[in-house]
């Protein structure tokens, strides 16, 4: 049984006043806690028979089930169903919904969020998070329509619905400002209220609750499935979320490189960046020729054979008239221009490191898969290639870590190494500290784990890059 619930639900409404109680489960750590708190309140009010739980499936964008060390770990959709059942909702009252569109033959076919992004032409942004409406809230709301139509006729009044979510203040400033209870829709057919029963729960309280929970949490929260250390992804929704932290994005690219490639294809096809603040995918020609300097890094697949001489602008463009100091918004003081170029270079270095890590990971995973059917000389060739990729991948990540900590004081690096539980000596210089951080991060990547698995498998069969004495 789960740990006793010590946190009280936030601003509990009168549950008996609703015709439908609709908790929405993502399959993440917070929705399990929300379901426990909410179902306790529903049973106490004697209205647990009015509960229908919903999961809005994101399809391929969700964290899928995995098998690790012979153990199967469920994905998000399966976890949502387990969370509903664990707290007393019958299986026939848990509904999984997904957005669909008419297919060529007239039948409905899935219309994923990434398909919507490709059709819309741009990725969601802060201030315009249409993904939440298009892939989650709108899909569930549409699923209510048949029931609302029937009950409106039977009751002769608008249907009252309570939407219950597992959002918490700890997750961000926008959610901290969100009321724990509010009316989100009111018309002649339905009145929909929203309740956040675990809004005031801290992240530590959620993790502590899960230590005795009747359902597992998603494997992506851990460094590796089943580790129980909460050192993986900090959140669990879309695998690649535009609102995720940079660390989460790096981890996801390593864990789901094919999905990352698919996102990159949408970026190229639509000409829109996944997240502009993360990296600049399309260099500005004006910036390229600023002081005769071109970007030091180019993304894989970009044309590199076109010579662009340094100068005041592209070869075909007329020369620009010099601007006087303070003449207009285009002018930047010299120090600001230098800082701008430094930050731009760091972002490009980071993105290049992400892309190289993605391709290295995929190749190492492929080699590890091929190793089981290879022997002797063929296995040695695979091991040689994997070893080179391992060293290349680590060096790429080392440069990425260095770019990430650009401008960070050495004392902060020491604190970061210490906080990570790594050995640290006050006499170590900056490069050594960065090397320690990079090595610790690299060893937890799918690429490094794939190489270790391949090398261990080869060694058991007598194949090793280190000759026996």
191 vs 458 pLDDT, higher one:
191
327 vs 274 pLDDT, higher one:
274
Q: Identify whether the C-beta of residue 279 lies closer than 8 Å to the C-beta of residue 128.
A: no
Range of weakest confidence among 143-157, 280-294, 332-346, 354-368: 280-294
The whole-number pLDDT of residue 445 equals 74
Q: Is 119 left (phi over 0), alpha (psi -120 to 50) or beta?
A: alpha
Pick from 321, 314, 246, 305: which is nearest to 278 by CA? Answer: 246
The whole-number pLDDT of residue 44 equals 95
Mean pLDDT of 179-208: 95
Q: Identify whether the C-beta of residue 280 lies closer than 8 Å to the C-beta of residue 344.
A: yes
Pick from 232, 242, 181, 198: which is nearest to 6 by CA? Answer: 198
At 5, the pLDDT band (50, 70, 90 cuts) reads low
Indicate whether 3 pLDDT > 50.
no
CA 342/CA 230 separation, integer angstroms: 34
Q: How far is CA 16 from CA 49, 51, 93, 138, in A?
A: 11, 11, 19, 25
Please state the pTM of the whole predicted model. Answer: 0.60
Indicate whether 160 pLDDT > 70.
yes
Indicate whether 219 pLDDT > 90.
yes
């Amino acid at each position: 049984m789960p740990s006793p619930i010590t946190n009280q639900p936030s601003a509990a409404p009168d549950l008996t006043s609703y015709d439908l109680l609709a908790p929405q489960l993502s399959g993440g750590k917070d929705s399990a806690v929300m379901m426990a708190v909410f179902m306790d309140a529903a049973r106490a009010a004697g209205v647990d028979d009015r509960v229908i739980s919903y999961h809005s499936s994101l399809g391929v964008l969700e964290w899928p089930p995995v098998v690790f060390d012979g153990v199967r770990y469920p994905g998000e959709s399966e976890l949502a169903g387990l969370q509903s059942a664990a707290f007393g909702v019958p299986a026939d009252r848990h509904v999984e919904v997904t957005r669909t569109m008419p297919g060529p033959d007239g039948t409905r076919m899935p219309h994923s969020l990434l398909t919507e992004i490709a059709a819309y032409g741009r990725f969601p942004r802060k201030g315009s998070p249409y993904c939440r409406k298009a892939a989650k809230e709108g899909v569930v709301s549409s699923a209510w329509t048949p029931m609302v139509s029937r009950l409106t006729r039977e009751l002769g009044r608008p249907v009252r619905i309570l939407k219950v979510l597992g959002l918490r203040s700890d997750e961000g400033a926008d959610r901290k400002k969100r009321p724990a209870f509010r009316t989100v829709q009111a018309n002649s057919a339905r009145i929909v209220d929203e309740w956040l029963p675990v809004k005031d729960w801290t992240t530590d309280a959620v993790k502590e609750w899960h230590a005795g929970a009747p359902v597992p949490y998603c494997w992506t929260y851990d460094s590796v499935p089943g580790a129980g250390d909460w050192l993986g992804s900090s959140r669990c929704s879309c695998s690649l979320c535009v609102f995720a932290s940079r660390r989460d994005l790096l981890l996801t690219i390593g864990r789901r490189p094919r999905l990352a490639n698919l996102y990159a294809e949408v970026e190229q096809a639509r000409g829109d960046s996944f997240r502009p603040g993360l990296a600049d995918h399309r260099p500005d020609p004006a910036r390229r020729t600023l002081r005769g300097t071109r970007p030091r890094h180019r993304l894989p697949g970009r044309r590199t054979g076109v010579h662009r001489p340094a100068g005041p602008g592209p070869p075909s463009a007329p020369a620009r008239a010099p601007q006087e100091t303070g003449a207009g918004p285009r002018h930047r003081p010299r120090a600001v221009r230098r800082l701008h170029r430094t930050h731009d270079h760091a972002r490009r270095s980071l993105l290049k490191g992400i892309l190289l890590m993605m391709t290295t990971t995929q190749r190492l995973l492929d080699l590890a898969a091929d190793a089981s059917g290879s022997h002797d000389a063929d296995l040695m060739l695979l091991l040689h290639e994997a070893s080179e990729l391992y060293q290349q991948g680590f060096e790429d990540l080392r440069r990425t870590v260095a770019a990430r900590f650009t401008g960070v004081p050495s004392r902060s690096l020491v604190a970061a190494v210490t906080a990570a539980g790594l050995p640290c000596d006050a006499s170590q210089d900056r490069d050594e500290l960065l090397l320690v951080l990079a090595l610790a991060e690299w060893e937890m990547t799918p690429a490094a784990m794939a190489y270790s698995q391949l090398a261990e498998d080869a060694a058991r069969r007598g194949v090793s890059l280190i000759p026996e004495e």
